[in-house]
Structure 1
Amino acid sequence: MARTRSKPAYVWIPDQHGAWAMLAVPFLAGTFLAPRPGWAHVLLFAAWVLGYAAAFHAQQWLRLHTRGLRSARRHGRPALVAAAACAAAGAVPAVLHPWLWAACAAAAPFVLVNTWYAWRGRERALLNGLAAVVPACGMLLVAVRLGGGDPADAWAPALACLLYFGGTVPYVKTMIRERNSRAHYRGSVSFHAAALAVAACLSPWLALPFTAYLARAAALPGRGLRVGVVGATELAASLLLLVTLLLVS
């Protein structure tokens, strides 16, 4: 008896695995560095993650729909559901803290950059990855203020996050898509060397993890590591940054 081919299931969870650490680490750092972490952080984090999922699916729908591909339809429902859930989770924090609308407005240009690259089918572009890093790291400042802190006192850990996650963009390219590019390798190592110098100025303790980040950027490309190993390494590196920030900030 012939088997019927099932229709593709909706892909509800975005498959950009490296994005999850970028979403979580700055937000968690800001939450626990704030004087008064609370339930509002839980709601805002839910809205933050759901907003990312909505943007991801909307951009995928745009990319595929522009090319006339029927597969675009599988991203429509997840985009709408995630957007509605994001609005529901973020409604109370937005009402109680109207300044969150200004934070959304500040993030909007970077989302538009990501959307433009998705429309053009160039999501792997270096600038597109760097544009996604900025609002994610800015959430550290948002979480600090939501917990009663002064964002001006948290610029150093936010900059440390920006240096680390900014460095992951060229580094991951040297491990996967640009593994044979010497230009990308030199650019990645140079970025990490500069990041180490800046991090050491922020705190001598931050020089420790950033030395490790420079070492992995210099030593691991070209060794044929599997994608899963690369992902696990970056997860450990992200956790190391989070722990360091909470201990020294």
Structure 2
Amino acid sequence: MVAGRGGGKRRWLPDQHGAWAMLAVPFAAGTFLSPHPGPAHLALFAAWLLGYVAVYHGQQWLRLRRNSRNPRAAGRHALPGLVFGGAFAVCAVPLAVAYPWLLAAALAAAPFVAVNTYHAWRNRERALVNGLAAVVPACGMLLVALRLGGGAVAPDGWRAALACLLYFAGTVPYVKTMIRERNSRTYHRASVVYHAVALAAAACLSPWLALPFALYLARAAALPGHRIKVPLVGALELAASLALLATLLLIF
């Protein structure tokens, strides 16, 4: 998987940089909020990331098979998909044997993966509903990691998971206002309204959550319209994600 000519690494690893924080932050929160974090969390995290990359390549294979005029385009995703899928199985099967309830968690995530797969097949991956569908299982991993470490899912686990859902769902319209929909007043207004509602909802979960969510509202209101480079947008969202993680670990 070493990058060669033509950007080999880019062909193996998804270029959806914003997804990595969404994959990691809820999982990390659930892991460190649990009373007994351990090696099983490392194995589950490896399976989680490998499964994500395998599904990504499978979805790209479907998308390009249906939509590309280049007959070789889809084939570029076949080998990475098989390699990552096999690596996922190596990590996931022992976990499923040791913790059979993980199969129920995977089944709960399946409808959202199906929505993402459908949008990939239709070449509509940038659709708002597609982004929102991806957020739900990612935030649900907080509960999975929490239970794996012997933590109680209710009530604090649910509150932490809902806080993640409120934040990461808000990143979907916000990032659009910074890049693809930077000139859309409708998107900007909708994003600001969402973040105002999310601030109120987060404060109900914990008054301390009002602090980071007030900052999320401020950035959703003030930053769109400015020509901020994409890497800086990504860096700001990474900082916002880490701020959420730190807050969750402090209050729950």
Superposition TM-score, scaled by structure 2 size: 0.95
Task: State yes or no: 1:27 paired with 2:30.
Answer: no
Letter in structure 2 aligned against 1:247 = L
Task: Measure how far apart 1:213 and its partner are.
Answer: 0.2
Q: Equivalent residues in 2 for 1:192-211 (5 A)?
A: 192-211=195-214
> How many pairs align?
244
Rounded Cα–Cα distance in structure 1 between residues aligned with 2:229 and 2:151? 41
Rounded Cα–Cα distance in structure 2 between residues aligned with 1:147 and 1:91? 18
Task: State yes or no: 1:128 paired with 2:127.
Answer: no
State the SS of the aligned residue for 1:65: helix
Task: Measure how far apart 1:93 and its partner are.
Answer: 1.5
- CA deviations over 1:61-107 (Å, ceiling 9, x no partner): 11111124321111111111111101111122111100000000000
Q: Equivalent residues in 2 for 1:47-196 (5 A)?
A: 47-67=47-67, 68-69=69-70, 70-153=72-155, 154-196=157-199
Q: Which residue in the other structure is 2:42 paired with? A: 42
- CA deviations over 1:200-223 (Å, ceiling 9, x no partner): 111111000000000000000000
Which ranges in structure 1 are unaligned for 5 or more consecutive residues? 1-5
The 8 Å contact of residues 9 and 74 in structure 1, kept in 2 or not, is answered as: no
Q: Which residue in the other structure is 1:9 paired with? A: 8
Task: Measure how far apart 1:129 and its partner are.
Answer: 0.0
Task: Measure how far apart 1:141 and its partner are.
Answer: 0.3
Task: Measure how far apart 1:7 and its partner are.
Answer: 6.7
Rounded Cα–Cα distance in structure 2 between residues aligned with 1:197 and 1:230? 25
The 4+ residue runs of structure 1 with deviation greater than 4 A are none
Letter in structure 1 aligned against 2:225 = G
Letter in structure 1 aligned against 2:237 = E
Task: Measure how far apart 1:152 and its partner are.
Answer: 1.8
Distance 1:214 1:7, change over 3 A: closer
- Which of 230, 233, 246 lines up with 2:233 in the alignment? 230
Rounded Cα–Cα distance in structure 2 between residues aligned with 1:22 and 1:183? 25
Q: Which residue in the other structure is 1:221 paired with? A: 224
Please provide the CA RMSD for this pair: 1.1
Task: Measure how far apart 1:157 and its partner are.
Answer: 0.4
Task: Measure how far apart 1:9 and its partner are.
Answer: 3.4
Superposition TM-score, scaled by structure 1 size: 0.96
Rounded Cα–Cα distance in structure 2 between residues aligned with 1:132 and 1:44? 18
Rounded Cα–Cα distance in structure 2 between residues aligned with 1:77 and 1:23? 23
Rounded Cα–Cα distance in structure 2 between residues aligned with 1:152 and 1:134? 18
Rounded Cα–Cα distance in structure 2 between residues aligned with 1:94 and 1:146? 12
- Identity percentage of aligned residues: 68
State the SS of the aligned residue for 1:224: coil
